[in-house]
Amino acid sequence: MTVRRDFEEPARNPSEQVIGQEELFAAAREQLGRGGSVLLHGPAGIGKSTVLRTLAAEYGRTARTVLRCSATESESHLPFLALADLFGLVLDRVAGSLPAAQRTALESALTGRGESTLQRDGLALRLAVLSALRALAADGPVLVVADDLQWLDPASAELLGFAARRLGDTPVQLLYAVRTEGEEFDRHLRATPPGTLALRLGPLSRGQVSALLDHRGYRGLPRSTVRDIHRTSGGNPLFALELGRALAENPTPPRPGEPLPVPTSLRALVLSRLRMLSAEARRTLLVASAGARPTLALLHAAGRSNAEAETAQAAELGLLATEPEGPAVRFAHPLISAALYAEAPAQERRAVHAALSTAASDPIERARHLALATTGTDPDVAARLAEAAALARDRGAPSVAASLGLLAARHTPAGSTPAPDERRLQAADDAIIAGEVDLARHIARDVLTRATVPADRVRAWMVVIEAAGQALGDVDAVFPQALADAGDDPRLLAQVHYQLAWRGLVVEGDFEEGRREAAHAAQLAARAGDRRTELMALSFQAQTETLMGHPEAPATIKRALTEPQDPQVACHHNGAGSARFRWLIMSDQLSEARTTVTALLREARRRGMVESEVHHVRMLAETELRAGHCGRALDLARESLRLARDCGIGEVPSALLTSLAEASGGDVDSALALAREAVEQAEEDGDQMYVSRALAALGYAQFVAGDAAGAVRSLRRVRELEQGLGITDPARGRWQGDLAEALVRVGELDEAQELVDVTREQALRLDRGSVVAVLDRAEALIRAARGAHDAAVAQLAAAQDRLARLGSGLEEARAAFALAALRAPGAASYDEAARLMRRCRALPWLKQVDAAAAASPAAPPAVPAAADGLEGLASMERQVASLVMEGATNREIAARLFISVKTVEATLTRVYRKLGIRSRVDIVRLAAGRRPS
Strand order in the sheet with 172-179: 65-70, 142-147, 172-179, 38-42, 197-200
Between CA 813 and CA 822, with CA 817 as vertex, the angle to 5 degrees is 145
Buried b (16+ CB within 10 A) or exposed e, 261-300: bbbeebbebbbeebeebeeebbbbbbbbbbbeebbbebbe
C-beta of residue 185 within 8 angstroms of C-beta of residue 198: yes
Tell me what pLDDT residue 795 has: 93
Closest CA to 71 of 188, 156, 144: 156
Q: State the DSSP H helix or E strand holding residue 174, giving kind and residue range, or none if neither.
A: strand 172-179
Give CA 401 to chain center in angstroms. Answer: 26
Give CA 588 to chain center in angstroms. Answer: 27
Q: How many CB atoms lie within 10 A of CB 450?
A: 8
DSSP letter, residue 678: H
Tell me what pLDDT residue 119 has: 57
The values of phi and psi at residue 443, to 5°, are: -60, -45
**Residues 180-192 pLDDT 10s:** 875 566 667 777 8
Amino acid making up residue 827: A
Determine how β-strand 38-42 pairs with β-strand 172-179. Answer: parallel
**Residues 720-732 pLDDT 10s:** 998 888 888 899 8
DSSP one-letter string for 743-796: HHHTT-HHHHHHHHHHHHHHHHHHT-HHHHHHHHHHHHHHHHHTT-HHHHHHHH
Q: State the DSSP H helix or E strand holding residue 677, giving kind and residue range, or none if neither.
A: helix 668-685
Which residues lie across from 177 on neighbouring strands? 40
Amino acid making up residue 545: E
pLDDT beneath 70: ranges in the chain: 1-18, 112-121, 182-187, 220, 251, 255-258, 322-327, 824-828, 857-872, 875, 886-887, 894-899, 924-933
Largest CA distance in the chain: 111
C-beta of residue 197 within 8 angstroms of C-beta of residue 40: no
Query: What is the rounded CA–CA span in Å between residue 651 and residue 627?
Result: 24
C-beta of residue 817 within 8 angstroms of C-beta of residue 795: no
Buried b (16+ CB within 10 A) or exposed e, 502-511: bbbbbbbbbb
C-beta of residue 644 within 8 angstroms of C-beta of residue 617: no
Query: What is the rounded CA–CA span in Å between residue 918 and residue 933?
Result: 9
